[in-house]
């Protein structure tokens, strides 16, 4: 996995840093696991724009990802490592012993031909999914469930991982990518390893058109708007805009938005930095 910097032959390539895609083994996805995605352009069912800065972009299809890993104690062979336009990580196509095919988020070190498994009594090796009660302390994990059987919710993006730091009673303590330490039931599943494509953070678009390919339209700042359009708008010349805030007036820097009596706060052992 690596990135390469393009030669500055045009203004768009001067600062362009792209992924080498050297870990991919095919460019043809599994047809049975594809589903259509309708592009909304940020409009709702009446045609009214409800989300700004969305529109255009390359046409793409959704890959069905197995976040539950509920096909227990049946070995699966890794057939391909593929690109997924809907996420920053790479995905791997598994072919189970009974012939079923599923996509999973590919961890670093997963190779074609390797066998992975999920369920109770499985070895804590890269790509295997098992219960937090059976994973050795200190293990690097990803694709972590927050509730048993719900499907993976935590540490799914490129290069992210969490660490199993402690276990007491029916709860395990997980150190999350944000630095937060949180208690999760030991009956929840997690996958061993770090999510693939850690160099995603090093990529650079190089030009505005690259954002348009991804379906992102230009985002104009509140400071340059009129007072009727944004709390930070208006003023003579280049006014600073005052206290940074959203279009609805909520403070944007340092203002805590988490509900003080949120039920899940009792499971947080240490807050994020």
pLDDT in tens, 147-168: 999 999 999 999 999 999 999 9
Q: What is the pTM of this model?
A: 0.91
Contacts of 50 (CB under 8 A, 6+ apart): 42, 43, 44
State the DSSP code for 158.
T
- Dist. CA 151–CA 188, nearest whole Å: 9
Domain boundary among 184, 201, 218: 201
- What per-residue confidence (pLDDT) applies to 246? 93
pLDDT category, 32, cuts 50, 70, 90?
Answer: very high
Does residue 207 contact residue 16 with C-beta atoms inside 8 Å?
Answer: yes
- Dist. CA 16–CA 207, nearest whole Å: 8
- What per-residue confidence (pLDDT) applies to 257? 87
Provide mean pLDDT across the span 31-50.
96
- Dist. CA 5–CA 20, nearest whole Å: 10
Residue 1 has pLDDT above 80, yes or no: no
Q: Are residues 259 and 197 in the same domain?
A: no
Q: Are residues 115 and 14 in the same domain?
A: yes
Q: How many domains does the chain have?
A: 2
Query: Does residue 184 lie in a domain region?
Result: yes
Q: Which domain holds residue 195?
A: 3-201
Q: Are residues 181 and 257 in the same domain?
A: no
Query: Does residue 160 lie in a domain region?
Result: yes
- The end-to-end CA distance of the chain, in Å, is 29
Q: Are residues 71 and 189 in the same domain?
A: yes
Which tokens hold the place of 235?
């003023």
pLDDT digits (tens, 9 = 90+) for 233-268: 999 998 988 899 999 999 999 898 889 999 999 999
Q: Are residues 128 and 79 in the same domain?
A: yes
Phi, psi of 141 (to 5 degrees): -135, 165
Does residue 202 contact residue 187 with C-beta atoms inside 8 Å?
Answer: no
Residue 69 has pLDDT above 80, yes or no: yes
Looking at the chain, the whole-number percentage of residues with pLDDT higher than 70 is 100
- What per-residue confidence (pLDDT) applies to 273? 80
Provide mean pLDDT across the span 24-52.
95
Query: Does residue 272 lie in a domain region?
Result: no
Strands (E), the chain: 3-5, 17-19, 34-36, 61-63, 76-82, 91-96, 101-105, 115-116, 129-131, 140-142, 144-145, 152-154, 162-168, 171-175, 181-185, 189-192, 268-270
- What per-residue confidence (pLDDT) applies to 171? 97
pLDDT digits (tens, 9 = 90+) for 167-194: 999 999 999 999 999 999 999 999 999 9
The more confident residue out of 1 and 232 is 232
- The CATH number linked to 80 is 2.40.50.140
- What per-residue confidence (pLDDT) applies to 22? 92
């Amino acid at each position: 996995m690596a990135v390469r910097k393009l030669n500055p032959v045009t203004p768009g390539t001067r600062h362009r840093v792209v992924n080498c895609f050297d870990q991919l083994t095919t460019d043809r996805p599994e047809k049975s696991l594809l589903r259509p995605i309708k592009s909304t352009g940020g409009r709702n069912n009446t045609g009214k724009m409800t989300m700004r800065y969305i529109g255009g972009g390359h046409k793409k299809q959704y890959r069905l990802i197995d976040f539950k890993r509920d096909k227990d104690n049946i070995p699966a062979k890794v057939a391909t490592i593929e690109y997924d336009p809907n996420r920053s990580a790479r995905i791997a196509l598994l072919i189970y012993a009974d012939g079923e095919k599923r996509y999973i988020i590919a961890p670093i070190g997963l190779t074609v031909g390797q066998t992975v498994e999920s369920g109770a009594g499985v070895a804590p090796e890269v790509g295997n999914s098992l219960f937090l009660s059976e994973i050795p302390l200190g293990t690097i994990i990803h694709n972590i469930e927050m509730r048993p059987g719900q499907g993976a919710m935590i540490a799914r993006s490129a290069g992210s991982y969490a660490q199993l730091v402690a276990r007491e009673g029916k709860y395990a303590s997980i150190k999350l990518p944000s630095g937060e330490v949180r208690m999760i039931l030991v009956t929840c599943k997690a996958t061993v390893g770090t999510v693939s494509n850690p160099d995603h953070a090093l990529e650079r678009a190089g030009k505005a058109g690259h954002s348009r390919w991804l379906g992102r339209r230009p985002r104009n700042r509140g400071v340059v708007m009129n007072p009727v359009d944004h709390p930070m708008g208006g003023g003579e010349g280049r006014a600073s805009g005052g206290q940074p805030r959203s279009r609805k007036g909520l403070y944007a820097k340092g203002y805590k938005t988490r509900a003080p009596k949120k039920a899940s706060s009792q499971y947080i052992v240490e807050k994020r930095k």
